């Protein structure tokens, strides 16, 4: 049983389900329906600011082809990757909105080499990790992209944040979520204790409305999601798992179907709703590609809160203690039985 299922049973009462029409993200947060045990004004305000940033970014993404924000800035980011204009626009939007109400002390972003201080007010109790626009290779070709975020509580008794506020295991997150800019814009959010909930953006009203209440991942799925173009770089055990999942064994539900968008938010979202497995294994001298703080940890927190698992293949993602702000890890997300299978291959048991 996961950490969250224990706690949820003890401390969270399901929301009143008598009427679900017209419940906005703001209402859901303000009425405490996310199940945060001590929902403070600061916390709800911070989550609402994230919702506002998501609206602003979605309006930029939706008009990207018209507003001269496609293409490259000519810069490279701290990861050595080419920065797209829309990456930069999303990053600036998030920093500016999170800086407004003084609840967010600092941000670590994929687009910034260093932590950015937003407030030194002692009342700024939280810090935020964010990948402002994930799936960069899909921006220019009109394929789904997303924003990933996580919220941590800042250490008490000091003015301003420092990197130690971020170098904590993912199980310390107090909220995590993502925004998927897909056929519609969807914001999925969890505080861990109260389950995982999705809100679809209605652009005609300008609000996110509750559309996916209490998402639970199936115990096992029927698709796998991995970049098979990298198979020559994988550990041998991953290659054996990959061959196994494609074997023709109808009675065991194999072969699984292959689905890979190349945007983590899109691939993880499909996996969360339909079950199955997403894997970005170690393929660079033991490292993966995805970043622990703002890609792996938020999704690990979401998947566990929805009854799924998140692993490096050998260790629980949420237990990893980060050594640096932009550290990369292998990331395996999915239905509990599917992640178990993967781990068994990695341990050499199959
Ligand atoms: P990005 O943060 O630069 O966009 O890179 C992260 C993306 C993820 O969205 C996706 O899962 C992965 O990179 C795809 O990588 P690859 O092209 O190697 O399959
Ligand atoms: Mg990214």
Give the model's confidence band at 78: pLDDT under 50 very low, under 70 low, under 90 confident, else very high.
low
Q: How far is the centre of ligand 2, averaged over its atoms, from the C-alpha of 135 (Å)?
A: 6
Q: What distance in Å separates the CA atoms of residue 293 and residue 321, rounded to the nearest whole number?
A: 10
Name which residue leads in pLDDT, 35 or 320. Answer: 320
The whole-angstrom separation of Cα 113 and Cα 64 is 25
CA distance 83 to 88: 7
**DSSP structural state of residue 24:** B
> What's the pLDDT at 317?
98
- At 209-263, the pLDDT tens digits run 999 999 999 999 999 999 999 999 999 999 999 999 999 999 999 999 999 999 9
Atom of ligand 1 nearest to the CA of 136: 4
1-19 pLDDT, tens digit per residue, is 444 444 444 444 555 555 6
pLDDT tens-digit map of 112-160 = 999 999 999 888 999 999 999 999 789 888 899 999 999 999 988 777 8
Q: What is the pLDDT of residues 297-307, one digit of tens each?
A: 999 999 999 99
70-101 burial, b at 16+ Cβ within 10 Å, e below that, comes to: eeeeeeebeeeeebbbbbbbbbebbbebbbee
264 CA to centre of ligand 1 in angstroms: 6
- Asked if residue 75 has pLDDT above 80, the reply is no
Question: What is the rounded distance in angstroms from the CA atom of residue 58 to the CA atom of residue 64?
Answer: 10
Ligand 1 pocket member 263 (CB < 6 A): yes
**Beta pairing, strands 257-258 & 223-225:** parallel
Question: Does 313 show up as a binding residue in the annotation?
Answer: no
pLDDT at 5: 45
Which pLDDT score, from 0 to 100, does residue 83 have? 59
Find where tokens 């979605």 sit. Answer: 58
Mean pLDDT score across all residues of the chain: 89
* The 207-212 sheet, strands edge to edge: 116-117, 104-109, 126-134, 145-153, 173-181, 185-190, 196-202, 207-212
The set of residues, in sequence order, having a beta carbon less than 8 Å from that of 247 and lying 6+ positions away, is 254, 255
Give the Cβ contact number of residue 114 at 10 Å.
12
CA of 43 to the centre of ligand 2 (A): 25
Domains and CATH numbers, the chain: 25-212 (3.30.540.10), 223-346 (3.40.190.80)
| Ligand with an atom nearest the CA of residue 139 | 1
């Amino acid at each position: 049983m996961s950490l969250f299922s224990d706690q949820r049973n003890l401390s969270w009462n399901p929301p009143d389900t008598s009427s679900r029409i017209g419940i906005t993200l703001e209402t859901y947060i303000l009425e405490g329906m996310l199940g945060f045990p001590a929902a403070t004004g600061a916390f709800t305000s911070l989550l609402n600011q994230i919702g506002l940033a998501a609206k602003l970014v979605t309006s930029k993404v939706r008009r990207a082809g018209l507003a001269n924000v496609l293409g490259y800035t000519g810069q490279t980011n701290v990861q050595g990757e080419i920065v797209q204009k829309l990456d930069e626009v999303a990053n600036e939007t998030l920093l500016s909105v999170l800086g407004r109400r003084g609840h967010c002390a600092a941000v670590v972003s994929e687009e910034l080499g260093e932590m950015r201080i937003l407030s030194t007010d002692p009342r700024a109790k939280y810090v935020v990790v964010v990948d402002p626009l994930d799936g960069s290779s899909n921006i220019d070709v009109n394929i789904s992209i997303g924003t990933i975020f996580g919220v941590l509580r800042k250490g008490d008794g000091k003015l301003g944040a420092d990197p130690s506020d971020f170098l904590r295991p993912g199980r310390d997150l107090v909220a995590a979520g993502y925004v998927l800019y897909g056929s519609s814009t969807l914001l999925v959010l969890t505080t861990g204790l109260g389950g995982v909930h999705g809100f679809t953006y209605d652009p005609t009203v300008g609000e996110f409305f509750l559309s996916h209440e209490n998402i639970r991942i199936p115990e096992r799925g029927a698709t796998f999601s991995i970049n098979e173009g990298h198979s020559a770089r994988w550990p041998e055990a991953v290659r054996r798992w990959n061959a196994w999942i494609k074997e023709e064994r109808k009675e065991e539900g194999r072969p699984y179907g292959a689905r890979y968008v190349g945007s983590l938010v899109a691939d993880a979202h499909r996996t969360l709703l339909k079950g199955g497995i997403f894997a970005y294994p170690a393929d660079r001298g033991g490292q993966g590609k995805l970043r622990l703080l703002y890609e792996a940890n938020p999704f690990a927190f979401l998947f566990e809160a929805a009854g799924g698992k998140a692993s490096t293949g050998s260790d629980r993602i949420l237990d990893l203690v980060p050594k640096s702000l932009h550290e990369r890890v292998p990331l395996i997300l999915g239905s509990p039985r599917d992640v178990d299978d993967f781990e068994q291959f990695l341990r050499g048991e199959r």
